[in-house]
Amino acid sequence: MAAQQQTAWQGELLHQEMMAKHTSWRVGGPADNYYKPTDLDDLCVFLSELPVDEPLTWLGLGSNLLVRDGGIRGTVISTSGLLNKLSLQNDTELYVEAGVSCAKVARFAARQNLTGVEFLAGIPGTMGGALAMNAGAFGGETWTKVKNVTTLDRKGKRSQHDRNEYQIGYRSVKGPNNEWFVATTLLLENGDVDAGQKRIKQLLAKRAETQPTKLASCGSVFRNPDGDHAARLIETAGLKGCCIGKACVSEKHANFIINTGDAKAADIEALIKKVAEVVQQKHGVALHREVHIIGEAK
């Protein structure tokens, strides 16, 4: 796209922005363009002025994502901390924009005496990403609480869709093509603020105890197969602590791959492939990635 800023939009446009600064794995090459909108209206204007063939990538907190070392062609839209409106619409409904962190939604709901989304405290991403993949934790899933969603198409046109317009599965959401989630209304239930906050603290304590939360990772790498857990399969295949370069399978939770220092995206991708191959050989189970891999190899 053209490098010169247009007066119609007001956000910040960066060029050759290193994605390692914006992903939880701390890896990833440069994005051709990286746009930080001022708000949802500004984003609509920006999208309306993009060339129709401009590749688009949407980014929240950069978890559940591996950006290859060669970077991303086209334009990355950053939502984290930018599309950040969070409000109580009525007694049991929350309006949440895509850039709000899942943990913030959980805490806000608890303070409003609303229950049903405590599990979001265990998801290290934004609501936009949670909507896109039906993210879940501790037995809860995002779309069980969705009433409707607001989307944008690549021309910046807004649409609203009810939950029943989407096919929802385990870590899977299928709906209108070439539209991206920018907000949602969550339908919750009245509860007890103290009980809700206590539940959140319990879930966060469990997460800290069982997951390498202080190390650079993407969250869970593989989906759980039916009737089993990816972590159990990886651990019993003898892969805990297995490394390629500076990328290692966590000793704490086998379904996490951590960047122990200056890992390359290529190291992480190679380790993901190796883990899947060894589990297939030893257990006869095909693991499917939960993490998305995008961009170009270097």
Domain count, the chain: 3
User: Helix (H, G, I), strand (E, B), or coil: what is residue 56?
Assistant: strand
Q: Are residues 121 and 185 in the same domain?
A: yes
The answer to whether position 34 is within a domain reads yes
Measured CA to CA, the distance from residue 219 to residue 200 in angstroms comes to 18
pLDDT at residue number 2: 45
Q: What is the pLDDT of residue 240?
A: 97
Residue 290 falls in the annotated catalytic set: yes
Pair of tokens at residue 213: 């939360």
Residue 225 within any structural domain of the chain: no
C-alpha 286/C-alpha 278 separation (Å) is 10
Q: Choosing from 80, 217, 220, 250, which is the catalytic residue?
A: 220
Q: CA dist 7 to 42, 52, 62, 79, 234, Å?
A: 11, 19, 29, 21, 52
Please indicate, yes or no, if residue 195 is contained in any of the structural domains.
Answer: yes
| 188 and 95, same domain (yes or no) | yes
Residues 256 and 282 placed together within one structural domain of the fold: yes
Q: Is residue 221 part of a domain?
A: no
C-alpha torsion sign, points 17, 19, 20, 24: positive
57 and 168 assigned to the same domain: no
CATH of the domain at 99: 3.30.465.10
Confidence at residue 137, expressed as pLDDT on a 0 to 100 scale: 87
User: In this predicted structure, what is the pLDDT of residue 111?
Assistant: 93
Q: Is 204 found in the same domain as 92? A: yes
Residues 273 and 243 in one domain: yes
What is the spatial distance between Cα 180 and Cα 57, in angstroms, rounded to a whole number?
Answer: 10
Q: Quick one: 198 and 237 in the same domain?
A: no
- Counting every residue written for the chain, the total comes to 298
Residues 6+ apart with CB under 8 A from 134: 141, 142, 143, 168, 169, 170, 171, 172, 173
Cα 84 from chain centre? 15
Q: Which long-range contacts (CB under 8 A, 24 or more apart) does 193-201 make?
A: 193/110, 193/111, 193/112, 193/113, 195/115, 196/109, 196/110, 196/113, 196/114, 196/115, 196/118, 197/107, 197/110, 197/111, 199/110, 199/118, 200/106, 200/107, 200/110, 200/118, 200/121
CATH code at 250?
3.90.78.10
Range of the domain at 202: 86-210
For residue 239, give both structure tokens. Answer: 């892969």
Q: CB–CB of 97/86 below 8 Å? A: yes
235 in the same domain as 197:
no
Domain boundary among 210, 245, 272: 210
225 by DSSP, 3-state: which? coil
Question: Catalytic site residue 220?
Answer: yes
Q: Specify if 218 maps to a domain.
A: no
Full pLDDT tens readout for the chain, 298 residues? 544 454 689 999 999 999 999 999 999 999 999 999 999 999 999 999 999 899 999 999 999 999 999 999 999 999 988 999 999 999 999 999 999 999 999 999 999 999 999 999 989 899 999 999 999 888 899 999 999 999 999 999 999 999 999 999 988 999 988 899 999 999 999 988 888 889 889 888 988 888 998 899 999 999 999 999 999 999 999 999 999 999 999 999 999 999 999 999 999 999 999 999 999 999 999 999 999 999 999 8
Question: Pick the catalytic residue: 17, 118, 269, 290?
Answer: 290
Distance between CA 177 and CA 84 in Å, rounded?
Answer: 24
Q: What share of the chain is helix, strand, coil (3-state, %, to 5)?
A: 30, 30, 40
Given the residues 171, 207, 223, 289, the one annotated as active site:
171
Residue 102 lies in a domain: yes
104 and 199 together in one domain: yes
d(CA 267, CA 247): 6
User: Is 154 noted as a catalytic residue in this protein?
Assistant: no
Of 209, 260, 255, whose CA–CA distance to 235 is shortest? 255
CATH code at position 41? 3.30.43.10
Domain boundary among 179, 210, 241: 210
Note whether 63 and 38 are same-domain residues: yes
Whether 105 is in a domain gets the answer yes
Do 154 and 63 fall within a single domain? no
As given in the structure block, the two tokens for residue 128 are: 């936009």
| CA 105/CA 114 separation, integer angstroms | 11
Residue ending a domain, among 24, 50, 78, is 78
Q: Same structural domain for residues 176 and 98?
A: yes
DSSP 39: S
Report pLDDT for 3.
Answer: 45
pLDDT value at residue 7: 61
Tell me what pLDDT residue 196 has. 83
